[in-house]
Amino acid sequence: MSGEQITIFDTTLRDGEQSPGCSMNTNEKLEVAGALVELGVDVIEAGFPIASPGDFEAVQLIAREFGSRTTICGLARCRNEDIDRAWEALKDAEQTRIHVFLATSSIHREHKLKMDKSEIVQQAVESVKRAAGYCSDVEFSPEDAARTELDFLCEVIEKTIDAGATTVNIPDTVGYATPSQFYNCIAHLKKNVPNIHKAVISTHCHNDLGLAVANSMAAVEAGARQVECTINGLGERAGNAALEEIVMTLRTRSDYYGCDTRINTKRLFPTSRLVSTITGMQVQRNKAIVGQNAFAHEAGIHQHGMLQERTTYEIMRPQDVGFSGTNLVLGKHSGRHAFRDHIIAMGYKLDDEYFEQIFADFIALADKKKDVYDADIAALVEKRIGDTGDAWKMISLHTSAGTGSIPTATIELQYKDQEPQRDAATGDGPVDAVFGALERIIGISARLRDYQVRSISVGKDAQGEVTVEIETGGRTYFGKGFSTDIIEASAAAYLKALNKAVAGAGQPTPARPEAV
């Protein structure tokens, strides 16, 4: 690493979770938080504690588990009860931050808050002081800063720094800014806020115009030294700046920006896959850095250049980001030691219980497939981790279908430690019958909004990855499943989505803040 350090502030567990259908249970949030710590994230925004009891519990557990290894942050509106609740969730951590925000743009002042400029400044200052009374690390965000008058933005920033803000975050809340505009905004603050040197300038960009990463990099060029981002660019509407893109841009173009991060880049791909599995949000194949096609070179001229000299068409190496391609690795005669060594080499850290479960899955897979690839092993790990905390488990599945017959599915499920339940259903095809049988047993009726299948590796015996999106009770849920049998993978994906629906049943959508 070289040059100045950029603080990476990850908000996957807060802003990322606000992406429709991407809600996580507490166990899943702990899994993601652990992965973020291993990745080397400087600050984890663990949630919005006052939004719901579930959010509070998750922030509290993450603070207790990981607060000695990285800074754990809780979000709060500029309200006393929000700030108090945030501190209550964070107080057991060694490294804490309270992040308070208040809208400052004219459109928000007039139409949402019904407050004038002096009232905004007063409330922001009072809230920052209250947060600073709890901990020394306080962040203030003027929501919709990119559409706020620059002179007023300077005033708010100056007053909140005097009140105790150690980080001032400049959000492009609705993704409206352009890179040159955002650069000028940060440069203006550095030039016109007298005490700006007492705080770190941060940026939080949304991707409504596809400019979140570009705007974030423009802010870094202008002097911002913290970037707020999410794994895979998750977030409300079109999402946030993608952490992996920010990190690798800084690493690859350190010659230009003169900055770097503390991120262990070899953990980027495994962390991306973990978040995708847990949320059910598929990473598009041509996604920069972590997409399946990110290091694929189809054109003949590119392949020739790569053989002559890698840097002709490759500006970073797949291994630099922990990319799991289709490299042949192991077969059914591979032993535990070889398998464990390869798991470690791929960047996964598993306790003995997880390892034994995944090794058993590997042996079962090796009996079905001639060759097992890196991507297959990654899917096994992610499947086990993604199943954490699911109420319903699949015991058995049987389907029958064919020309001139009625497709039928018989499924046996178990709810926690209760007696297994079995039911059957018919459908337009075996997959439709499976979905119907799952709904009958669990007692939830859902509408399938999206169904996608793709191959994880290569060959006729490749594992399939199925992603589903369902709607029930006015809410959206995603699920993902893996298997060499596409019907089994479909059942696993649909069951995952239904499990999420069960976890959310009867719980209203939290009254979350607008995206900062």
Give the model confidence (pLDDT) of 202-221 as tens digits. Answer: 999 999 999 999 999 999 99
Binding site residues for Mn(2+), as ranges?
15, 204, 206, 240
Q: What pLDDT, on a 0 to 100 scale, did the predictor assign at position 302?
A: 42
Rounded to two decimals, what is the model's pTM?
0.83
At the top level of CATH, which class does the domain 4-256 belong to? alpha beta
Q: What pLDDT, on a 0 to 100 scale, did the predictor assign at position 512?
A: 54
Residue 296 has pLDDT above 70, yes or no: no
The bridge status of strand 4-5 relative to strand 226-229 is unpaired
Residue 358 has pLDDT above 70, yes or no: yes
Helix (H) or strand (E) holding 43: strand 43-47
Q: How far is CA 348 from CA 167, 271, 351, in A?
A: 33, 10, 10
Structure tokens at 277: 């599995």
The fold of 392-504 is: Double Stranded RNA Binding Domain (3.30.160)
Give the model confidence (pLDDT) of 6-65 as tens digits. Answer: 999 999 999 988 887 777 888 889 999 999 999 999 999 999 999 999 999 999 999 999
Identify which of 492, 510, 253, 327 has the alpha carbon closest to the alpha carbon of residue 394.
Answer: 492
What does R_g of the chain's alpha carbons equal in angstroms? Answer: 24
Binding site residues, as ranges?
15, 204, 206, 240
**482, 460 Cβ separation under 8 angstroms:** no
Q: What pLDDT, on a 0 to 100 scale, did the predictor assign at position 383?
A: 75
Which residues are CB-neighbours of 343 under 8 A, at least 6 positions away?
350, 355, 358, 377, 381
Rounded CA gap, 274 and 376, in Å?
A: 14
Mean pLDDT, to the nearest integer, of 480-501? Answer: 93
What is the CA angle 49-58-417, rounded to 5? 140
Q: How would you class 489 by CB atoms within 10 Å of its CB: exposed for 0-12, middle for 13-18, buried for 19 or more?
A: buried
Other Cβ atoms less than 10 A from the Cβ of 337: the count is 8
Give the distance from CA 166 to its chain's centroid: 26
Out of 43-47, 191-195, 508-512, which region has the weakest mean confidence (pLDDT)?
508-512
Mean pLDDT, to the nearest integer, of 380-388? Answer: 73
Q: What pLDDT, on a 0 to 100 scale, did the predictor assign at position 59?
A: 98
